[in-house]
């Protein structure tokens, strides 16, 4: 990016930062008061989740150790070993625009923090978007709502799979329908076990998107454009509004 753009974006970003965060706190306070009565219910659910997590964690540790031993025995290269080691960095949202066909947000991590274009950005709920432009101290996140097969600058399609059907399901998430607010997953081969209510995650095939990012849940599966493959309609799990913090997933830099 050229220096006038860098300068303009970073100075504006600096001013915006001073406004966005306090506004978020005030709005958050009112939201918290509104949510007060749901707290006990949420607490109960979280307790169940935590217990489940503790069980899974023990299992996970065994599998991880075993996995590492196997990798060592099979003599994985360094690049192969670090393929799935991601770093998660918290970013503050600085400002946002919500135009229907052109919505982006600005976050306060930039090239100086090691952000590169095409890194994935997630919220606690799931995949939010992809870094599209990086200046020194801020960067622009293109939301998933801007996915469009007709746009040459759109973020690349996401290779996706369903949880518990990792080896069997495959599809490409290619576009977003602003009329229904749903994502479309195309190129699902015939005979695929994908079904409504499946949770869709990125599969990591292709290398651009890290694997295991939650994208959404399947609402319906239809016959695709040319009748050969199916298309799944996916309800995104992230809500595309009112963020405070987002997480940028740093992947190992790798020669393409």
Residues of this chain that interact with another protein (CB under 8 A) are: 5, 8-9, 12-13, 15-16, 19-20, 23-24, 26-27, 94-104, 106, 132-133, 140, 146, 148, 150-151, 153, 178-179, 181, 239-242
Structure tokens of 175?
């576009």
Q: Minimum Å distance from CB 8 to another protein?
A: 5
Nearer to another protein, 72 or 151 (CB): 151
* Cβ-contact 128, 247 below 8 angstroms: no
User: What angle (nearest 5°) sits at the alpha carbon of residue 199, between those of residues 230 and 221?
Assistant: 20
C-beta of 122 vs 147, nearer to another protein: 147
Record the tokens describing residue 196, joined without a space.
Answer: 């409504």
Minimum distance of another protein from residue 185's CB (angstroms): 18
Nearer to another protein, 173 or 201 (CB): 173
The number of helix segments (H) and strand segments (E) in the chain equals 3, 12
What is the C-alpha to C-alpha distance for residues 55 and 46, in angstroms, rounded to an integer? 14
138 vs 169 by CB, closer to another protein: 138
State the nearest-atom distance from the C-beta of 45 to another protein, in Å: 22
Cα dihedral across residues 73, 76, 77, 79: positive or negative: negative
Q: Name the residue among 187, 190, 185, 219 with its Cα closest to residue 202.
A: 185
How far, in Å, CA of 142 to CA of 131, rounded? 6
Provide, rounded to whole angstroms, the least separation between the CB of residue 152 and another protein.
10
Contact 92, 16 (CB under 8 A): no
Question: Which of residues 103 and 203 has its CB atom nearest to another protein in the complex?
Answer: 103
Q: Which residues of 216-253 are buried (b: 16+ CB within 10 A; e: fewer)?
A: bbbeebeebeeeebbbbbbebbbebeebeebebbbbee
Identity of the residue, 77 or 150, whose beta carbon is nearer to another protein in the bound complex:
150
Minimal distance, residue 1 CB to another protein, in Å: 9
The least CB distance from residue 178 to another protein, in Å, is 6
């Amino acid at each position: 990016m050229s220096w006038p753009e860098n300068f303009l974006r970073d100075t504006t970003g600096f001013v915006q930062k001073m406004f966005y965060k306090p506004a978020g706190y005030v709005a958050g306070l009112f939201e918290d008061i509104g949510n007060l009565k749901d707290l006990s219910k949420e607490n109960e659910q979280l307790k169940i989740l935590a217990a489940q997590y503790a069980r899974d964690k023990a299992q996970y540790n065994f599998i991880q150790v075993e996995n590492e031993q196997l990798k060592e025995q099979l003599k994985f290269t360094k690049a192969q070993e670090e393929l799935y080691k991601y770093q998660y960095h918290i970013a503050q949202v600085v400002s946002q625009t919500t135009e229907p066909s052109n919505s982006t947000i600005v976050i306060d991590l930039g090239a100086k923090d090691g952000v590169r274009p095409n890194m994935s950005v997630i919220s606690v709920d799931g995949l939010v978007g992809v870094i599209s432009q990086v200046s020194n101290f801020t960067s622009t996140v293109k939301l998933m709502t801007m996915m469009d097969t007709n746009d040459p600058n759109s973020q690349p399609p996401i290779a996706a799979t369903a949880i518990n059907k990792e080896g069997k399901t495959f599809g490409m998430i290619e576009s977003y329908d602003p009329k229904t607010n749903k994502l479309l997953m195309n190129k699902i081969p015939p005979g695929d076990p994908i079904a409504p209510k499946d949770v869709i995650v990125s599969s990591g095939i292709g290398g651009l998107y890290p694997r295991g990012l939650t994208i959404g849940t399947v609402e319906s599966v239809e016959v695709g454009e040319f009748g050969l493959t199916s298309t799944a309609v996916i309800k995104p799990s992230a809500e595309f509004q009112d963020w405070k913090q987002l997480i940028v997933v740093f992947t190992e830099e790798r020669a393409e």
